[in-house]
Amino acid sequence: MDISQLNTSALGGNEVRSPQQTPIPDSTGQSIPISQSETAANPPQDLPVEPESKSGKQMKSLFWRQEVKWLQTLKRHSRLLIAVIDAASLNLKFANDYFLQLADLSPAIFEEVSYQSLLAIFSPEDQAALQERYWRHLLNAILHYRYQAADLIDERLLDEPVVITFPDSTQGQRRQVELRLQSDRFDIKTLASAVEIQLDACWSAAPDKQQVMAQLLNSASPLSQLSRTLQPDDYQVEGVLLLEGMDVTNREVAKTLIQLLVGRESVLQPRKFNRANGLMKALFRAQDSLILSSESDQTTLFMGLDKPEWDVHLYSVQNLHNSLFFQAADRNQVLNIPDLCLESLTDCEKTILAAGVRSLLIIPLVMKSTARGSESRQLLGLVGLTSDRPYAFDSNDCSKASTLIPALTAAMRHMGQDRFTNIHPSVRWRFEQETERRSWGLAPEPIVFTDVYPLYGISDIRGSSNERNRAIQADLLTQFHLGLAVIEAVCQAQDNAFARQFRLDLLAQIEQLQDGITVDAEVTMMRYLQTNLETHFDYFGQCSPTAQSAVETYRTACDNEQKCVYAARAVYDRTINQINSLLRATWNRRQQEMQTITRHYCDVEATDGIDHMIYAGQSIDPQFSEFHLRSLRYEQLRAVCNCARVAFGLKERCNTDMEITHLVLVQDSTVDISHDENTERLFDVRGAHDTRYEIVKKRIDKAMDAQSRERITQPGMLTLVYSTAEEWEEYSHYFRYLQREGWIAAEIECGMVEPLQGVTGLKFSRVRILPGTKG
């Protein structure tokens, strides 16, 4: 029955068929016109013939009109795929518009389409799966014909769906459809005697469902052999097969994506990542995606993930505290930003907006852990889906994103274990190559970059150790005085000789702390209080209300993560973090400019100040040249000067006496660096000569002037350490350029470095950095 020929005015058609002209399908699926005269002349034999009233005709006419409308609506607008196949010819008898659209068939010719030609649009795997489903229904019909028993094949096998791919040309993408075959009106008319003989060989009597299923599951059984030799000439069929389907593209894409994310291999394997990224964008109709990772006090934004080289942007964690990303992380739920133009943006989000992004879907990846009975959360990173259209994502996308969180979290954790989150973009390609090799089962190869030039520099917080010691001393004195208040309250409540002696011990410890602290005082003094004082608090609290109050005061002061008085040290930590954040943010801005000179590896560590380690050479950037090296060295000096200028205002801004010193170490010879998976460091230098450079790096910031016996580094000054006259000749030009640009003063101090352990002959030049606004 071709419903496409039925038109109704309600659905925009120009004609409505009368009920007398409307065709209906018979039991074989053929269209038979029904007329009033035929109905009256050939009534059903079991019903009496009665004259039809005028009102009856009107009701029948109304019924037919409504049915036509329903059928037309089903054909044109249903999002299910529906097709009817003639059992005898295996030609397509009916298909709704959505089926025709996905199968790329014309409504005018679809009745000429055979089942075999329909199969041809699918892959060989999908064809085999559909044929196997058809065979199940055919065998069930044969068994029903032979033994007059229904459903000898389990309904679950007959109703089992198959997911196949339709090459949807209208939307430019493949659609995944879950199809089911229904055979309620599919029957065998005749069966060859040879087939009946083969069936008799399967069972001596009519089988039951269990016996049939036992042979079906055995590939060597007579029934399985019959199924492999059965030919179309062995049977005749009648009726129709109903093909029903549902578009499950999103479900299958999500399923495939999850399998990729939770696989054993790292998702950062190039082919795997590209596929996963493509699936993510397809699932959410996104133009692009991004990753935000955070480590220590630095956040890295990766954009352009479909490019060979990702776009990398660095920000301090402090600058992102009010960002949309931190909102998503704090709520630990997917956050949909309909239009970035309507939000108050941080520098990070302004970067995203500048890239043309209007809509943003943020997926936080948080790992929960339970330690010592308390639950904590660790932010592994955030994944973002982007669109250049505002209001591109909806609540359905948020729901889909939420289902992906466990798999994305597992993938991000895997990435962290693989240390890929720490790999600098300039050398990531080599690690991805090695990951690809290992995914093919090849033996590991060392990751080495040969003949690279090292550029090392440090901005050190002078006096940080003394400042921390003072903070430790202040906190310990406060805690010991709180402990003393407890024991004095106990002594007032009862006459106890041991308590009086313990009070004297505490007074002696306080007097010792007032004179100064030793290196191990922070640990030993805390252990002393825990062992000798805090362990008796339950008893002390029972001695008197005053003692109970003193115990509560002590416990309140220690009610923090450190489980001790940590007020002065907290101020110190905040000050150090603030200084480090300012220095690192300044360096990171300059580092982005330095990467435009030549691609190079740069590692930055922050402790009491920041130090940077740069490696550059042709093994990292094949275009590297002598000009790039000189440009990079000069830009390194400018960046250190920029950090120094930021540091000038730190004493007032952070209310501290600590000052910043700056040093650059020169080495004109190259080194080889390699990655050792058994160490925390990403790269180590190779060879005895290269090791000398590492020794100097570790000791040079404490080096002394051989003549004056004072530190070669001084607050507000840039110190250059080198070995040869050739190195100074090159860097003297850079100093002249810095003077010309107004970075440094004209007067340069020079001297010899006091011999370090195993290293002699080092020289230094020192110059004052000028305040200014350049940067």
Residue 455 near residue 636 (C-beta atoms within 8 A): yes
Q: With CA atoms as reference, report the closest residue to 452 among 270, 668, 727.
A: 668
Q: CA 733, CA 630: separation in Å to the nearest integer? A: 11
* pLDDT at site 698: 80
pLDDT(320) > 50: yes
Quote the DSSP letter at residue 771: P
Helices marked H in 148-269: 155-159, 193-202, 209-216, 222-229, 249-261
Average pLDDT for 539-545: 93
Average pLDDT for 546-551: 94
390 is written with which tokens? 């505002």
Q: With CA atoms as reference, report the closest residue to 387 among 343, 349, 339, 342.
A: 339
Residue 671's DSSP bridge partners are: 452
Average pLDDT for 320-325: 86
* pLDDT at site 54: 56
Q: With CA atoms as reference, report the closest residue to 736 among 763, 713, 767.
A: 767
Q: CA 623, CA 641: separation in Å to the nearest integer? A: 28
Q: CA 658, CA 654: separation in Å to the nearest integer? A: 9
- Considering the chain, what percentage of its residues have pLDDT values greater than 90? 32
pLDDT(31) > 90: no
Q: CA 186, CA 28: separation in Å to the nearest integer? A: 9
* Confidence band for 30, pLDDT divided at 50, 70 and 90: very low
Average pLDDT for 200-226: 87
The residue to which tokens 């190259």 are assigned:
670
Residue bearing the bigger pLDDT, 73 or 748? 748
Angle at 169 between CA 71 and CA 91, to 5 degrees: 50
* pLDDT at site 607: 83
Residues 6+ apart with CB under 8 A from 649: none
Alpha-carbon 764 to chain mean position: 47
Strands (E), 79-123: 80-86, 92-95
Average pLDDT for 709-735: 94
pLDDT(673) > 80: yes
* pLDDT at site 376: 55
Residues 6+ apart with CB under 8 A from 257: 276, 279, 280, 283, 404, 407
* pLDDT at site 487: 94
Q: Which of 293-297, 414-418, 657-661, 728-732 has the highest mean pLDDT?
A: 728-732
Q: CA 203, CA 226: separation in Å to the nearest integer? A: 13
* Confidence band for 380, pLDDT divided at 50, 70 and 90: confident
Residue 337, burial from CB neighbour count under 10 angstroms (0-12, 13-18, 19+): buried
Largest CA distance in the chain: 130
Average pLDDT for 510-517: 90
Q: What pLDDT, in 10s, does the model give residues 408-432? A: 776 776 554 444 444 677 787 777 6
pLDDT(490) > 80: yes
768 is written with which tokens? 């004052």
CA atoms within 13 A on the CB side of 647: 30
Q: Which residues of 593-632 are buried (b: 16+ CB within 10 A; e: fewer)?
A: ebbebbbbbbebebebbbbbbbbbbbbbbeebeeebbeeb
549 is written with which tokens? 């109050």
pLDDT(135) > 70: yes
484-498, 506-520, 562-576, 651-665: the lowest-pLDDT one: 651-665
* Confidence band for 630, pLDDT divided at 50, 70 and 90: very high
Mean residue pLDDT across the chain:
81
Beta-carbon count within 10 A of 35 CB: 13
Q: CA 145, CA 311: separation in Å to the nearest integer? A: 68
* pLDDT at site 435: 61
Q: CA 741, CA 774: separation in Å to the nearest integer? A: 9
* pLDDT at site 693: 73
Cα dihedral sign, 142-143-149-151 = negative
Q: CA 562, CA 554: separation in Å to the nearest integer? A: 14
- Considering the chain, what percentage of its residues have pLDDT values greater than 70? 81
| Residue 329, CA distances (Å) to 13, 321, 366, 381, 383 in order | 55, 10, 7, 9, 11
Encoded amino acid at 557, one letter: A
* pLDDT at site 58: 59
Residue 685 near residue 693 (C-beta atoms within 8 A): yes
H or E element that contains 651: helix 650-654
Residue bearing the bigger pLDDT, 63 or 330? 330
Average pLDDT for 215-226: 86
Residues 6+ apart with CB under 8 A from 679: none
* pLDDT at site 10: 32
Residue 623: strand, helix, or coil: coil
DSSP assignment string, 391-408: T---HHHHHHHHHHHHHH
Angle at 172 between CA 170 and CA 175, to 5 degrees: 85
Radius of gyration for the alpha carbons in the chain, expressed in angstroms and rounded: 40
- The bridge status of strand 671-675 relative to strand 684-686 is antiparallel
Residue bearing the bigger pLDDT, 442 or 214? 214
Residues 6+ apart with CB under 8 A from 589: none
Q: Which of 118-127, 202-211, 269-278 has the highest mean pLDDT?
A: 202-211
Angle at 130 between CA 124 and CA 131, to 5 degrees: 85
* Confidence band for 731, pLDDT divided at 50, 70 and 90: very high
Average pLDDT for 705-712: 92
Encoded amino acid at 47, one letter: L
Residue bearing the bigger pLDDT, 65 or 319? 319
Alpha-carbon 147 to chain mean position: 58
- The bridge status of strand 659-665 relative to strand 601-607 is unpaired
24 is written with which tokens? 């209906």
The residue to which tokens 């019909």 are assigned:
141
6-10, 183-187, 208-212: the lowest-pLDDT one: 6-10
Q: With CA atoms as reference, report the closest residue to 291 among 400, 397, 408, 387.
A: 408
Alpha-carbon 364 to chain mean position: 8
Average pLDDT for 680-684: 69
Q: What pLDDT, in 10s, does the model give residues 340-367? A: 999 888 889 999 999 999 999 999 887 6
Q: What pLDDT, in 10s, does the model give residues 740-766? A: 999 999 999 999 999 887 788 899 999
* pLDDT at site 595: 92
Q: What pLDDT, in 10s, does the model give residues 259-271? A: 767 665 555 555 6
Q: Indicate the pTM of the whole model.
A: 0.49
532 is written with which tokens? 């000798």
Strands (E), 277-392: 288-295, 298-303, 311-316, 335-337, 359-371, 374-387
* Confidence band for 642, pLDDT divided at 50, 70 and 90: very high
Beta-carbon count within 10 A of 221 CB: 14
Q: What pLDDT, in 10s, does the model give residues 551-604? A: 999 999 999 888 899 999 998 888 888 888 889 889 989 998 999 999 999 988
* pLDDT at site 314: 85
Residue bearing the bigger pLDDT, 308 or 513? 513
Q: CA 490, CA 215: separation in Å to the nearest integer? A: 88
Residue bearing the bigger pLDDT, 309 or 452? 452
583-592, 674-683, 764-773: the lowest-pLDDT one: 674-683
Q: CA 514, CA 456: separation in Å to the nearest integer? A: 40
* pLDDT at site 307: 78
Residues 6+ apart with CB under 8 A from 90: 114, 115, 116
The residue to which tokens 């990772």 are assigned:
293
Residue bearing the bigger pLDDT, 231 or 40? 231
CA dihedral 744, 746, 752, 755 (to 10 degrees): -10
pLDDT(679) > 70: no
* Confidence band for 40, pLDDT divided at 50, 70 and 90: very low
* pLDDT at site 433: 72
* Confidence band for 640, pLDDT divided at 50, 70 and 90: very high
Average pLDDT for 275-293: 86
